[in-house]
Amino acid sequence: MDIREIQRLIKLVERSQVSEFEIEEKGLRIRISKNSSHSAQTVIYAPPMPTGMPALPTPEPSPSLPVELPAVTKAGVVEVKSPMVGTFYSALAPDAEPYVRVGDHVEPGRVLCIVEAMKLMNEIEAEIAGTIVEIVPGNAQPVEFGQVLFRVDTSR
């Protein structure tokens, strides 16, 4: 099971009426639970160490999962960059609430913004949990490939 599958499970639990969900696969046990005031929380249990096997590095709890994470700058601040040239939209429509505001806490899978090009509306999702500390482009501003869109403080 990789990080994407785990993220998908979290999303499924968040959207469902299920309050707690547990799965075990190849010695990896994952429990996802939520209550009415919080989004889904994930607890990942390390696989049991079989005796007589070479020592493995101890898996750390989320969010230090073995995935390629976005560029981390100072003190755990992660930059979310634009995957394409286009126009940055902070909301689905001109009169809609913005997807996120500075100070919002986001979980992986939360939509942060839309980058539109060639009438393709591309939702950019958070890949990591943290607090939005900066939204760089203004709404409806053109953005370049690789341009920083958000700075997310993963320590908060």
Partner 1 sequence: MQALRTRRFGQESLFFEEIDSTNRWLLANEELFRLSGATVVADHQTAGRGRYGRQWHDTQGKSLLFSVLLRPESKASPLGLLSLMAGAAVAHAIGRIDSHFSEKLRLKWPNDVLIDGRKVAGILVESISAGTRSCAVIGVGVNLRQSEDELPKATRWPASSLQMLSANPVSREDLAAEILNDLEAAYDLFQEGRTVELIDPWASLSLPLGTELAVESGGSVIKGIYAGVGTEGQLLLKGTDGTLHGIHSGEILWKDTCDE
* Near partner 1 by CB under 8 A: residue from 78, 89, 129, 132: 89
- Residue 100 buriedness (CB in 10 A; 0-12 / 13-18 / 19+): buried
* Near partner 1 by CB under 8 A: residue from 28, 44, 85, 133: 85
Mask: binding to partner 1, 2-41, rule CB under 8 A, as x and -?
A: --x--xx--xx--x--------------------------
Cα dist. 125→50, 55, 121 in Å?
A: 37, 36, 13
Calpha distance 113→147 (Å, rounded): 14
User: Are 108 and 42 a contacting pair, CB within 8 Å?
Assistant: no
What's the closest the beta carbon of residue 146 comes to partner 1, in angstroms?
Answer: 13
Smaller CB distance to partner 1: residue 3 or 45?
A: 3
143 forms beta bridges with 86
Interface residues with partner 1 (CB under 8 A)? 4, 7-8, 11-12, 15, 67-68, 70, 83-87, 89, 91-96, 108-109, 111, 116-127, 140-142
